[in-house]
Structure 1
Amino acid sequence: MSPRHRRMPRPAFMTGPALLLAAVIVTHLPATAAPGRSRKKAEPETVDFARLAQHRPSKCGPDTGVVAGPAGWKEAPPMCVWQGRLEMRRWQASAVPGACIAPPAAWLAWQRPRLGGQPAAPGAAWHSGWKSHYLGGPGDNGTERIATVEMREPGVWTATEWTWSPSTRAATRTWQEGRWKLIGEAASKVRAGDTGPATPLRKAWETNLKGRAGEIAHDGWRWNSDGKCLRMAPLPPASAPLPLPRAREDARLEQRAAMQIQLARRYPGATFLMPFRLLDAPAAAPRSGAKYAAIWTERSNVTGQLWIPQKSGEAPIRAQVGATLPARYDTPSGLAAGSGTLRAIEREMTGIADTWSANHER
């Protein structure tokens, strides 16, 4: 056989033992040898505190107490400049899957009164589509306050609050005011977009929150009532199967009985915990218009419906308030949960009806 066709020996790295050795080496390589999954970096600071304040922040003095934020939020040590006259506080909270409301909803309800906002007023609820928000206004004891909340990294919310206590010296106070305005302008860039005007019913719901946290989502308005997660959804205008008098003196028992029959036919599998009835008039407005409600359960869902006849004679305003029971209704635990949910829904619908009377029937 010529040298040209002579069989060449196999290279050493192609032998079975060599391949086995290579596999062992690769298996025992340190984890850093393989490219890791990169974590998305947090967004840069909205407010460059040191640059705008023209002082390097440091930890506040021992007389600066801790301000506990809403439940689930953890505070970092506060930072101060200007001999403690300008302080920055920061809290963080992680999103909780399946929670009734998102962490920033609790932050907004907690923060508004700290900036002079009225707890029982429209605009108190968080919008689920927001990724950031800004508030500004007077604080306590003559201070000014600015607050923001942002999702600066996935699943983590960061809330920041700046509080300025103006100097007693006129020249220093004027200089501080200029710096404070710059901080406010930078912070206001995260202001949430306009969501459009709220309906009268949503205004009544937000007012009835009375400082509690609420969230406006695509499927309704959510909030906690004595530990029960409730969701309210307005229904499209539709004529009632039977006329619903707006004047209380015109409401008749036989009309309500007929409406209950109509509801039972529409929801044949329902158990009515509170049959269709006329809600009591608020003590402050005994001559207010009639409001009607009913509450029923189907499987593990409890649903309340509210009817508000209009003075114009148009179709009644309608909305449903619902909750999901943690257990079947026909079990002891389900019965206990159902009774608590029944009371919560009845109380909230009555509160919304009373708020409507105060806003539209004076």
Structure 2
Amino acid sequence: MSKNEFIKGRGAQLNVSNKFEAQQHEFRDDFLNYCAAEGDEVQNNNTVLIDTFSKTIVNKVTSPDVGMEYSLNPYQGCEHGCIYCYARNSHEYWGYSAGLDFERKILVKRKAVELLEKKFRSRKWEAKPIILSGNTDCYQPIEKKLKITRQLLETFLKYKHPVGIITKNALLQRDMDILRELAEDDLVSVTLSVTSLSEETRRILEPRTASIKKRLETIEILSRANIPVNVMMAPIIPAINSHEIMPLAKEISERGALSLGYTIVRLNGAIAEIFTDWIKKTMPDRADKVLNQIKNIHGGNLNDSRFGTRMKGEGEFASQVAQQFKLARKKYFSDKERIKLNCKLHESFKDGQMKLF
């Protein structure tokens, strides 16, 4: 594949059809030839922000194998462009493609803080951990400018409410002042996604995320500040990062991480087409091997929606991965313990300040 055919700075290399749309479109060869002859871009690759005005902001998570009860996503779509991201399919509900649209059309929830305060002030609401980034990353690049996540964290602190954060962006370091205050009352835990120790692997899998060096540095900084930090190696992809489990576990443990979790890649919905197109362009020599091994993990399919097996897979490869993680945890994390977030303070701060009576 020539350099001209590859869209730099993006994960997906095409816009797949939206399954909810009655009409589909494609680029005709004569149009592509005309653009090439004139030196014009076939399509605009710039990121576009789209304001949305949701009526609620806290989502109840009903999936039994996700590990959270409530989530909050200030943004929909994610400029990080991780090729494997399960959240891509959610962009179709907004009328966009799970491919390039997911990375280029970012929906912004401008009233996120207002809605969160309304939730906290409700007499019916009882404090339970709310996870920022249950779907898309709350510290994706646009957060540097908009600071919605920072404002949300200030709100969690104001109401003394427990919050979890999942991210793969070192921009989180900007908010260390708030995180320290939250950590003093066991109101925060951070989960950093570290898929590989190889910067080359990171660059092709997750083109607009923080470098591996910055993520490892972030683990160390959080740990030194007594802010509990955990790591997810997600997803494990056969023949791409599956050989890195033990060295990655050792590295993050030495940096101060309290635990290590994982998921195995699954390519549900439109992601199967997006990933297949991508790997044949970026790794043509091992594309078939990777795709076939993914199928072997999920009963002969690239996708897997079965609760209980979809996250970890099944078969010989999945068993080997599970054994490696069991060994890694025993060797590098046996003397560490995850904290339990404090849900007892919020009731006294229902109005954003301490109740005296």
Would you call these one fold, judging by a TM-score over 0.5?
A: no
Which structure has the bigger radius of gyration?
1
- Which structure is higher in helix share? 2
Taking structure 1 as the reference length, what is the TM-score of the superposition?
A: 0.21
Greater relative contact order (Cα < 8 A, sep 6+):
2
Q: Tell me the TM-score normalized by structure 2.
A: 0.21
Q: Which has the higher strand share?
A: 1
